[in-house]
Structure 1
Amino acid sequence: MRIKLLLLAAMTVLHLNALGQYETVVFNYDKSYFNEGRLLPAEQKFMVTGEIPRDVQIVELKIFQTDDINSRPVHSALWKRHPSNTRNTFTIPVNYSLRGNEKYTFLINYYKPASAKAQESLLSQLSETINGYVDQSFIIEKTEMTMRKHPRMMASDLNSIINEGLYFYRNRINFEYHGLSDIVLDKLYQIRTLNLKKARFNVFSKKDSDPENLKLRYAREQLEVLKELIHKEISQYANMNLLVVADSRKVSDYATEKTRNVLSVNLGYAGVYNEGNVDDFSSAGGLFAGVSLPLGKAAFTSPFWSKTSISVGVFIDNLEFSKNDIATGPIVDRPLYFGLGYKALPFIRLNAGMAVLQSPSAGSSFSDFDKVYLRPFVGLSLEFDLWIGLNK
């Protein structure tokens, strides 16, 4: 029985730790701020929650580093209502760490089902714009039809028109529009090489039909086929339970909390190789003290780089390789070192690099710096973090 209680307690602690990874941030719709105006959490994951009407189906959160919401967001996330969910709240996990003492702009979009009338209006506007673009993109001459742009540029322009028209829409299954298919692109290439001299073989006509009218009819028919292909592809997307932005809230230049800058102090022991081979070599060891500067913060880099550091410091005493071979160092008359460190355990750092040595007979003037030499070292140290600034 006691073992079961201990296991239950351990599972509860693990569950609470898992929940504790996300700090909850409450968005106030009326005031357009978070947590009653408090600073946002930095260098950790958090959840944004708030109130919504029951007909809101999707809430979209976008985070920008500047006040320009037309720029690319640094992060975006969605909340989608489950069919059985009738609550009037949303919760979005933000798996993106904000930097401390920075300002970010947030855009929160609320999507509701688009009415049948709104969807018809969307398709009508897109069709009108696309038809106008296609008509002005071709020049019909006597024997050929000339395109004002390359087919791929035309396809890119058409995709831009469609994306702009769909900017305030998304569908219920969160399927994104990925552009026109290769069928449309192939049709553009086909029209590019179209020879209007062959119109009489491709257009149904009477024997006395005017050849020029036949060419004009043939050219227009090909454009109509192109338009129809584009309209069908748009309709396939637009008929997939479209949702439209019914409301939006922008929160500009909202500040994050100030984070502590860390300076790691190392106290340890290292061995320095002097010379010789594996069977017969000279070395010395000694205590050292130094500092480590991590190559990245854990919230923004991989664990490897956040645990790796540039380490520099000084040996406490001179290094005695033998009675007649004692090494000191420049500037402070003690051996110096520089290298890389790796935090293997929370308070243990492995160090490796080069020791900066000098003969005791040399002085500390610049003229004696030619007598400085390097030797490899490895070491193990205890690490203590000093917090620079107490604002958190």
Structure 2
Amino acid sequence: MKKYILILLAALPFMAVAQVKTVPFDVIRNQLNSGMPLPAEESFNMKGILPAQVRLVQLDIHRGRQRKEPDFSYHWKAPFDFKVEEYEIYVAEPLRSNKRYTFTFSYYKPASTDDLRELRDALYQNLSSYLHANYQVSRSGFSSLNPRRTVMNNLDQIVVSATNRYEHFIAMDFPGFSDIVRQKIEQLEKVRMRDARFNVFGGRKNIDSVRVAYAQQQIEELINMVKAETDQYLSRDMLALADRREITEFETERLPSYLPVNVGFGGAYFSGNFENLDYGSAPYVGVSIPLGNRTFKRYLGNASISTGIMLLNMQNASGETVSGPLIERPIYAALGYKFLNFFRFQAGATITSVQSLGGTERINVYPFVGLSFEFDLNIRLNNQR
């Protein structure tokens, strides 16, 4: 048995490093890969001409039609202080065979001074309006129309929504407003007033103007804190969305189907212990059915259900010939696991038969283990993977 294992190990071929394919995107024609299907079940590079002034390219990939959130998202950022005319994005997540995907290319260029001014003014107005509308003043103090956590979340969402057409060159997301703002909101809720209910900016004439001014001051302090933290996020390196191109439901290539074939050497345990072991061994051939696609599910893709036949009959310790039912060769069924790309270890059971002296056939099931060399047989089924 050791002899056969050494032969299998010596048959391990040299592994070649595959070259990563390049898929061109023609932004002028809005054409992907010259109209040809995309590579499937392998990583590839997405390459295109870089429009003038563009510093960031974002690629969003959706399975099927475009949805709110992409399945995969990639970014290309222009190198610092270098002039380039092309971009190249490495698509690390393989696409499935014979499936359709939607690709969205977003191009960002440096935001102008006017862009940032308009963005800042709009944010200031929205944040201020929300805080003014959320708080009212009564004799007992300030009251909020929403819980403190909701107010914080709404303030964050105002900033995120207003900047959805902008990106930071250093890829910085808005972190949310700080605990200082949270503490100011908490402090505002503890302020006590003695006057009847009135809106902060619609104070009645019979209300003491000093207290109205005090209420306005408390709100303005909170608004100024929110503005200051917003300014920290709206830095000069922000990029504005210049253009967006979309390729809808573009198909991938149809890969052929393969059936893994195993040729190896295995053994069956008949009885006994280490001191008096009764077993048989023989070469075998069989097929394996993977439990998953190895490209997307590594461990399930390596695991399999295997079956096949022994090429030779075995002998037990009593000298009896151990064959199999029907085809007169032992049949095995096992769970297998592939390793080193070319070998599969299998463990399961083998069905055998022995002809007794009286002419009757005894059918038995014994434990089975085997090690095989595996290669793929192209069966070219007309199906989708």
TM-score of the aligned structures, taking structure 1 as reference length: 0.79
Contact 1:21/1:45, CA 8 A, preserved across alignment: no
| Amino acid corresponding to residue 21 of structure 2 in structure 1 | E
Q: CA deviation at 1:235?
A: 0.9
Q: Which residue of 2 aligns with 1:309?
A: 304
Partner of 1:204: none
Alpha-carbon distance, 1:332 to partner? 6.6
Provide the rounded CA distance (Å) in 2 between the counterparts of 1:186 and 1:334: 80
Instruction: Quote the offset at 1:375 in angstroms.
Output: 3.2
Deviation string, structure 1 residues 332-369 (Cα, Å, up to 9, x no partner) = 775443333233444432222233457779xxxxxxxx
- Counterpart of 2:123 (choices 123, 126, 135) is 126
Aligned twin of 1:37 = 35
2:259 alignment partner in structure 1: 263
Cα distance, 1:298 vs structure 2 = 4.2
Relative to structure 1, the CA distance from residue 220 to residue 376 in structure 2 (aligned partners, 3 Å threshold; closer, same or farther) is farther
Residue among 153, 160, 165 paired with 2:150: 153
Other-structure match for 1:375 = 366
Structure 2's unaligned 5+ residue stretches are: 1-15, 196-205, 357-361
**Residues 51 and 323 of structure 1: is their aligned pair in 2 closer, same or farther, counting only changes over 3 Å?**
same
After superposition, give the CA deviation of every residue in 1:235-267 in whole Å (9 maximum; x if it has no partner): 111123211001110111011111122210112
CA deviation after TM superposition for structure 1 residue 319, in Å: 5.0
Report the residue type matching 2:370 in the other structure.
G
What is the correspondence of 1:210-225 to structure 2 with a 5 Å cutoff? Answer: 213=209, 215-225=211-221
Taking a change above 3 Å as real, the CA distance of residues 51 and 327 of structure 1, as seen in their structure-2 partners, is same
Code of the aligned partner of 1:348: F
Aligned counterparts of 1:101 and 1:255: Cα–Cα separation in 2: 6
Specify which of 84, 89, 94 is matched with residue 91 of structure 2: 94
Any idea what the Cα deviations from partners look like across 1:128-148, whole Å, max 9, x if unmatched? 111222222223222122222
- Asked if 1:286 is matched to 2:286, the reply is no
1:244–1:323 distance in 2 versus 1, CA, 3 Å = same
Cα distance in 2 for residues equivalent to 1:282 and 1:139: 90
Residue 380 of structure 2 aligns with which residue?
A: 389
Report the residue type matching 1:389 in the other structure: R
Matches within 5 A, 1:153-302: 153-196=150-193, 213=209, 215-302=211-298
Looking at structure 1, the residues matched to 128 and 363 of structure 2 have their Cα atoms a distance apart, in angstroms, of 78
- Partner of residue 59, structure 2: 61
Aligned-residue sequence identity (percent) comes to: 32
Equivalent residue letter for 2:35 = G
- Report if the CA contact (8 A) 1:273-1:376 is conserved: yes
Check the 8 A contact 1:143/1:215 in 2, yes or no: no
> Equivalent residue of 1:192, what SS?
helix
* Residues 96-150 of structure 1: CA deviation (Å, up to 9, x unaligned): 2111111111111111111111101001111111122222222322212222222
Tell me the CA shift for residue 382 of structure 1. 2.6
Letter in 2 for 1:35: N
- The letter for the 1-side match of 2:57 is V
Which whole-Å CA distance do the structure 2 matches of 1:186 and 1:101 have between them?
Answer: 55
Structure with the larger helix share: 1
2:217 partner letter: E
Maintained 8 Å contact 2:139/2:192:
no
What secondary structure sits across from 1:91 in the alignment?
strand
Corresponding residue number in structure 1 for 2:346: 351
Cα distance change of structure 1 residues 192 and 296 upon mapping to structure 2, 3 Å threshold? farther
CA contact (8 A) 1:308 1:340 kept: yes
Q: Which blocks of at least 5 consecutive residues in structure 1 are unaligned?
A: 1-16, 199-209, 362-370
Name which of structure 1's ranges 371-380 and 274-283 shifts more when overlaid on structure 2.
371-380
Match of 1:341 among 328, 336, 341: 336
After TM superposition, the structure 1 stretch with the greater mean CA deviation from structure 2, 166-175 or 110-119, is 166-175
Write the distance in 2 (CA, Å) between the matches of 1:24 and 1:57: 21
Structure 2: distance between partners of 1:217 and 1:325: 107
Distance 1:263 1:24 in 2: 29
